[in-house]
Amino acid sequence: MIRIIFVTRVALLCLSTACAETKVRPNVLLLCVDDLRPELACYGVEYIKSPNIDRLATRSRVFNRHYVQAPICGASRFAMLIGRYGPSDNKALFRRAEGLDTNSPDYSPSLPALFRSNGYTTVAVGKVSHHPGGMGGQRWTDASVIEMPESWSRQPFEAREWLDPLGFMHGLAEGEIRGPQLQTMDVFQSYDGPDTVYPDGVTTEIALKELEELSKNEEPFFLAVGWLRPHLPFGAPARYVDLYEVEELPEIPYPAKPDWRTTWHESGELMRYNRWGKDPRVDLDFALELKRYYAASVSYADAQIGLVLERLEELGLAENTIIVLWGDHGWNLGERGIWGKHCLFEESLRSPFLISTPGIAHAGVATEHIVETVDMYPTLCDLAGIVPPYNLSGESLRYALDSPGEAQGQAFSYYGDAETLRDARFRYIEHRDGYVELYDHHSSQKESRNVASEYPEIVEKMKRELRSLSSTRWISKGAEISSK
């Protein structure tokens, strides 16, 4: 009897300890922003008005050299949520879901699925994976087709006047949606109204309600919120456009189209919108106007982020919440004559990445470590005390959170028929037919001159390194196969 009582007391003690540990497990707040360049004050660029992101940066580790895996929404978000190098198209997550085989050695649960299986309530609001609401079908409303099965405890969505998720995705003010005749939608717009006149304001309202609900629960939460702006079309309430009415915008560096072979493209996405007959590649005034509306869209997104962070504080949740701000890729604002993403230049692949943890050392100090989007998955597992899958492509960034340290690392990215490797000095790009580009970032010309012929030993070294990484690309039924 004595032994039984002793065991019971030990069991109760263990249960009590487990409960205590459960209560102190950190929450996770993941803030995703579409097409966001690292042009913010916390990245040393003063003309953008982003006070809320900049304030978050003062209590974060700012990763100055974060690179995404692919310069396109769906593929970049696949890498973030699956933690693996993968396909380079917008259907990546849906194709993974369709070919899901939990017995395959290639299978690993998504980041939110792993947290959910470890007792977290997982919620996604807005554009987190790719489709707002997380469903497929012709108008993204088919509940039998799920983008990320078993990942979210709930994924609330309200289309409101935009009618459905597809209309919501690229919507402008008062329910205007992007239709098959894209040229009828203005490439930028200003509307004098509340934040909710555009879809991102609706996303914020839902996120605030979700925070209220999550604050009432004992279990920890993983809340992901994704905003559409500054994705095309550039639309924001008038007061954000007014911020840049008299702002002097910087000139476009390297505005000329390359005269050598590159991943340059015709800026097709932007060119399909109504541009009033103007072309930013030859019309400087129109180019600056586009930059002004892009900046306004960034400030609009920043305001939404501020509202969520403010509510987190008001609810007393900030002290025990890991906050991550992540841009799914960059965007070319005229560099090398490109207006858009979809290329393997620096401007498309580099994006903001901030991690704030309770009690972070050297808060507000940036790091020059070269990191990748796939590093987010193992990092959050590490910080939350969750064992990650064995086959992730990235590594925990705890070392950079503990100390900014010296620059090190490489970043691997891919799109279409080419792949690229970025280190502290060079960007190497290899096309499927073997043609290569090499750019020297220690040169003032950076990615405006191909120096491959001048550094044959660097080309060979980076070719070997890139092929080693390329061989780990995720392959599934129907997925593209790496070019190597």
What's the token pair of residue 21?
Answer: 């540990």
- Report the distance separating Cα 155 and Cα 149, nearest Å: 11
- Report the distance separating Cα 336 and Cα 258, nearest Å: 6
Among all residues, which ones are annotated catalytic?
A: 73, 130
Q: How far is CA 122 from the centre of its chain?
A: 18
Number of H helices, E strands in the chain: 14, 17
| Residue 60 neighbours by CB distance under 10 Å | 24
Q: 302 burial class (0-12, 13-18, 19+ CB within 10 angstroms)?
A: buried
Per-residue b/e over 390-412, b at no fewer than 16 CB within 10 Å? eebbbbbbeebbeebeeeebbbb
Contact 261, 435 (CB under 8 A): yes
**Nearest 5°: CA angle at 193, between 226 and 303?**
35
For residue 437, what are the β-bridge partners?
429
Query: Which of 61, 85, 133, 122 is CA-nearest to residue 354?
Result: 61
- Report the distance separating Cα 86 and Cα 72, nearest Å: 12
Render 27-68 in DSSP notation, one character per residue: EEEEEEETT--S-SGGGT--SS--HHHHHHHTTSEEEEEEE-
Reported residue count of the chain is 484
User: CA dist 153 to 156, 222, 223, 302, 359, Å?
Assistant: 10, 10, 10, 27, 29
- Report the distance separating Cα 293 and Cα 284, nearest Å: 14
- Report the distance separating Cα 176 and Cα 185, nearest Å: 8
| Residue 5 neighbours by CB distance under 10 Å | 9
**Nearest 5°: CA angle at 392, between 430 and 30?**
100
| Residue 55 neighbours by CB distance under 10 Å | 16
Which residue is listed with tokens 């705890």?
398
- Does the N-terminal peptide bond of residue 233 adopt cis geometry, omega within 30 degrees of 0? yes
| Residue 276 neighbours by CB distance under 10 Å | 8
Contact 475, 481 (CB under 8 A): yes
Q: What 8-state DSSP symbol labels residue 60?
A: S
- Report the distance separating Cα 338 and Cα 451, nearest Å: 21
